[in-house]
Amino acid sequence: MKAGVLGTGHYAPEKILTNKDLEKIVDTTDEWIRTRTGIEERRIASDDENTSDMALKAAEDALKEADLTAEELDLILVATVTPDQPFPTVSCILQEKLGATKAAAMDISAACAGFMYGMITAKQFIESGDYKHILIVGAEKLSKITDWEDRNTCVLFGDGAGAAVMGPVSDGKGVLSFELGADGSGGKHLAQQDEHIIMNGREVFKFAVRQMPESSVKVVEKAGLAKEDVDYLIPHQANIRIMEAARQRLGIDESKMAVNVNHYGNTSAASIPIALSEAVKKGKINDNDLVVLVGFGGGLTWGAVALRW
Ligand code: ACO
């Protein structure tokens, strides 16, 4: 028995902030943002819409797809660096709002790699037999820690939430292998200082174009498979050039990589589960496909999973 994904969900706020809108706020151009990052627009949560509100909508969507009720959940994990407040955690707020009365709840803080850390934590509880159904949510309201006067960072980020319900699966399906890592020495390159995100874009870029391809290949090899076996790649949606590096290293066709960075920007921990949920709903992932999910983030952190769907 392995741990697999039983259902996925996502939610993005209604308000769209385009590159053209940003041209009016900072000294930038639509052309610069598109060519350097692949981003065209991002979603921004309303003032009264908090991280837990977005998490709730994504979670409900995932439970519906999994055909489970909230009461069947044993554990709720929420990956976020923008919780409503330090405590109570987003996972506890979500537990109450969902009515998941039997579930334990905790938040995970690993920046953009948070959802990968959540999946691997869930896998341990499920494969040990201790828990059966675990909800993992990646949810972020990055707009509240974005410095709207800093063109180096404000063009990159967006708000949203994605979720997956994991549980036991059979027939060789589920998580085949994983890789998690951290390098605290690189933490200074991407951080929240006082109220805002600060970033050394070039250093983060160098780290990411090395780490994403390396981790993607590693999980495939750890699963005893070859790059050619990969059917679908879901990379963290930070920058199309970084994502392309991973795709090219795996040698897979463009049509086999999830891309929504153009519409959402970088939604940190929410990016991988939003992309996963969209891919599932669009029918891009089929029964028995080998799916690779890979992310990197502030910390620095990274994580990848090879999953038989
Ligand atoms: N519009 C116009 N010019 C800009 C903008 C902007 N929005 N932002 C920066 N510039 C300028 C800079 O001032 C700089 O000018 P200078 O050379 O005169 O000093 C120049 O553009 C920067 O050029 P590069 O550094 O060569 O730009 P690069 O091609 O590296 O792209 C980018 C920058 C997009 C930030 C890239 O480095 C990147 O994507 N890095 C990774 C960022 C990332 O993924 N962060 C999220 C990590 S995940 C998480 O945990 C949140």
- What is the C-alpha separation between 44 and 307, in angstroms, rounded? 31
For 260-285, the pLDDT digits (tens) are: 999 999 999 999 999 999 999 999 99
Residue 230 is predicted with a pLDDT of 97
Tokens of 190: 């991407």
**Sign of torsion over alpha carbons 208, 213, 216, 219:** negative
Assess whether 92 carries a catalytic annotation: no
309 C-beta closer than 6 A to ligand 1: no
- What is the C-alpha separation between 33 and 151, in angstroms, rounded? 10
* Position in ligand 1 atom list of the atom nearest CA 268: 51
For 188-221, the pLDDT digits (tens) are: 999 999 999 999 999 999 999 999 999 999 999 9
Q: Which of 154, 236, 239, 263 does the annotation list as catalytic?
A: 236
Contact status, residue 284 vs residue 225, Cβ threshold 8 Å = no
For 52-81, the pLDDT digits (tens) are: 999 999 999 999 999 999 999 999 999 999
Q: How many residues does the chain have?
A: 309
For 85-112, the pLDDT digits (tens) are: 999 999 999 999 999 999 999 999 999 9
For 139-150, the pLDDT digits (tens) are: 999 999 999 999
Residue 56 is predicted with a pLDDT of 98
Other Cβ atoms closer than 10 A to 85 = 11
For 234-251, the pLDDT digits (tens) are: 999 999 999 999 999 999
Assess whether 236 carries a catalytic annotation: yes
Which DSSP string corresponds to 73-134? -SEEEEE-SS-SSSSS-HHHHHHHHHT-TT-EEEEE--GGGHHHHHHHHHHHHHHTTS-S-E
pTM: 0.96
